Structure 1
Amino acid sequence: MRSVLALLQFCTSLPLGRPVEFEQFARRSYLYPLAGYVIGGIAAGIVYWIGSPAVGAAVALATVLVLSGCNHFDGLLDLGDGLMAHGSREKRIAAMTDRTTGAGAVAAGVVVTLIAFAGLLDAANLPAAILTAEVCAKVAMSYLTTLGVPFREGIHSYLHGFARPWFLVPATLLALPLFLLPLPRMSIALALVAAAGIAAVMMLLARHLFGGINGDVVGAANEITRAGVLLLLALL
């Protein structure tokens, strides 16, 4: 339970009392999907009572961003700056890790948010869609934490140092309760495949552009996976 509490203190802005030692979660980063159930579950519970699809989609996205403290969204913005930077790998890393917000950050934030909103707007079951997308996003984070070789010291390198290849198994198993949701089982299966695919693409892209993974890339994977899964569910 201390590991779960440390996870929620890291991934959410919920008032959860005195901070638990971060190592409690670092040793069990396969628990990431549990944060998805908490964040997505709260958002789903709120939008269940909203009749308007447009308002429900907006409230759902606002809820998951606020509950996560926008930490992962910040990673998306930083990645956007790194992707749009020109020049050497060092210049891309500098653009991604500095404290300024450039056009690449704005573009990444707008594009990913628009895709997520459009996906939610067309979702057949909005509460189930936001819960599924949030859990899948955390599965992708767990995969990257386990497999993504860091290019610098930081939160990701700390988590990666404790991760083991077998972490992929419990991280995946924790997503299986999604099949109990009122969505087609094939849609859930494809959403999990999409999460793994996005994590793989992010890892390959980051390795090529930056020489490895950092916390910004992992956080960006959360936002991109959420949007990708919502778009997939809408198209299905």
Structure 2
Amino acid sequence: MIDSLRLAFGLLTILPAGMPSHVDRIVGSRAMILAPLVGAVLGAIAAGVVALAQLVRPDADLLAAVLGVLAVAALSGGLHLDGLADFADALGSRRDRETMLRIMKQSDIGPFGVVSIVGVLLVDVAALTACLHANLGWQAILIATTASRLTLPWTCRTTIPPARPEGLGALVAATVHPRTALLTTLAVLVPALALTALTAPKTTGWLSASPAPTALTILLAVLTALATTRRAQSALGGTTGDVLGAAIELTLPVTLTALALTPL
């Protein structure tokens, strides 16, 4: 389990976690199951950044949102944003499978990749700002960051093969049973509901009054993972490391927006 935890943090963050002594598909599978825990750690750090910014400047919600989003991106090493850009460029090319896989392996970023990165970051900031206006900023970034990493057990479920025989995708693809992914989802949902129930401002009558927005957020994370892998399987024949990163980065704005817009 220690090797899986080290692998999870090593793959998903720039935080010092040490090198795993042994890596195989079993370790990779457990690392993907532990991904939401990694997301919770990143989210907690970003939540601290947001809370500190609000403490210093309570009227600067936009600044706090930008700092929170940048904290998540920086702690992730920008790896997932790169995966999103590569996946977007491949799909945008509308070429055959082999050409798309070759595009995803290239180090440069094309126009579709640039638009995708700018787009998700803008929505991240805008949605988190809206959450901050509702006095639920640090809770939102914590829940959304955790939920975005919940996509990994679903994108690595056993029904989705790797698109190529080498790389990160080959190590972790098709390693998580859907039942395990479901149990992991429940393990994320319960503390997320508890967090919002205990900390949401009572005056807003928002998340504290109903579990629906938080439950919807977790559901949307799963649906985004399913949609991403479905598109990857139809276009590429399976998943890759870039697809995993794309699922994470697509889920973050989706879940933040859900938290910002979902009424009672």
> TM over 0.5, yes or no?
yes
Q: State the match for 1:164 in structure 2.
A: 177
Whichever residue aligns with residue 40 of structure 1, its letter is G
Q: State TM-score, norm by structure 1.
A: 0.93
Q: Which has the larger radius of gyration?
A: 2
Q: State the match for 2:50 in structure 1.
A: 47
Q: Residues 154 and 178 of structure 2 are in contact (CA less than 8 Å); yes or no, is this contact kept in structure 1?
A: no
The one of 223, 229, 237 equivalent to 1:197 is 223
Deviation at 1:200, TM superposition (A): 1.3
Whichever residue aligns with residue 56 of structure 1, its letter is A
Distance 1:27 1:198, change over 3 A: closer
Deviation sequence 1:102-126 (CA, Å, 0-9, x none): 1111011011111111111101211
Gaps of 5+ in 1: none
Q: State the match for 1:134 in structure 2.
A: 145
The alignment yields a C-alpha RMSD, in angstroms, of 1.7
Matches within 5 A, 1:135-154: 135-146=146-157, 147-153=159-165, 154=167
Identity %: 31
SS of alignment partner, residue 115 of structure 2: helix
Relative contact order (C-alpha < 8 Å, sep 6+): which is higher? Answer: 1
Deviation sequence 1:28-72 (CA, Å, 0-9, x none): 121111011100011101211212211111111110011111111
Q: Distance in 1 between matches of 2:164 and 2:240?
A: 7
Q: State TM-score, norm by structure 2.
A: 0.84
Q: Residues 30 and 170 of structure 1 are in contact (CA less than 8 Å); yes or no, is this contact kept in structure 2?
A: no
Q: Residues 7 and 25 of structure 1 are in contact (CA less than 8 Å); yes or no, is this contact kept in structure 2?
A: no
Q: Distance in 2 between matches of 1:118 and 1:134?
A: 15
SS of alignment partner, residue 150 of structure 2: helix
1:235 aligns with 2:235: no
Gaps of 5+ in 2: 55-59, 201-206
SS of alignment partner, residue 49 of structure 2: helix
Aligned length: 236
The one of 20, 26, 32 equivalent to 2:28 is 26
Q: Distance in 1 between matches of 2:18 and 2:255?
A: 33
